[in-house]
Amino acid sequence: MKRNTKILAIETSCDETSAAVVRNGREVLSNIISSQIDTHKKFGGVVPEVASRKHLENISLVIDEALQSAGVEMKDIDVVAATCGPGLVGALLIGLTTAKAIAFSCSLPFIGVNHIEGHIAANYIEHIDLEPPFTCLVASGGHSHIVNVVGYTDYEVMGRTRDDAAGEAFDKIARALGLGYPGGPLIDKLAASGNRKAIDFPRAFLEEGSYDFSFSGLKSAVLNYLNSKKMKNKAINTADVAASFQEAVTDVLSAKLVKAALDKKSEYAALAGGVASNSRLRELLKQRGEQAGIKVIYPSPGLCTDNAAMIGCAAYYRYINGTKSDFTLNAIPNLSLE
Tens of pLDDT, residue by residue over 246-295, are 999 999 999 999 999 999 999 999 999 999 999 999 999 999 999 999 99
- Helices 183-191 and 166-176: crossing angle in degrees, nearest 10, is 70
In a domain, 117, yes or no: yes
Pair 230, 153 in one domain: yes
DSSP strand pairing (154-160 vs 144-151)? antiparallel
Pair 140, 91 in one domain: no
Closest C-alpha to 240, from 272, 279, 199 = 199
Pair 35, 152 in one domain: no
pLDDT on residue 74: 97
pLDDT on residue 2: 60
CB 195 within 8 A of CB 244: yes
In a domain, 335, yes or no: no
Say which DSSP state 213 is in. Answer: B
pLDDT on residue 295: 97
Say which DSSP state 250 is in. Answer: H
In a domain, 203, yes or no: yes
What CATH number does the domain containing 57 carry?
Answer: 3.30.420.40
pLDDT on residue 83: 98
In a domain, 337, yes or no: no
In a domain, 332, yes or no: no
Pair 172, 312 in one domain: no
pLDDT on residue 1: 54
Sign of CA dihedral 4, 147, 247, 180: positive
Residues counted in the chain: 338
Pairwise CA distance, residues 291 & 286, whole Å: 9
| Domain of 309, in residue numbers | 6-121+304-320
Pair 90, 152 in one domain: no
Sheet holding 154-160, edge to edge: 154-160, 144-151, 134-139, 268-272, 295-297
Pair 197, 249 in one domain: yes
Low-confidence ranges of the chain (pLDDT < 50): none
Pair 309, 210 in one domain: no
Instruction: Indicate left, alpha or beta for 94 from its phi (over 0: left) and psi (-120 to 50: alpha).
Output: alpha
CB 288 within 8 A of CB 258: yes
Provide the domain count of the chain.
2
Pair 150, 254 in one domain: yes
Pair 176, 96 in one domain: no
Pair 201, 74 in one domain: no
Pair 158, 239 in one domain: yes
pLDDT on residue 141: 81
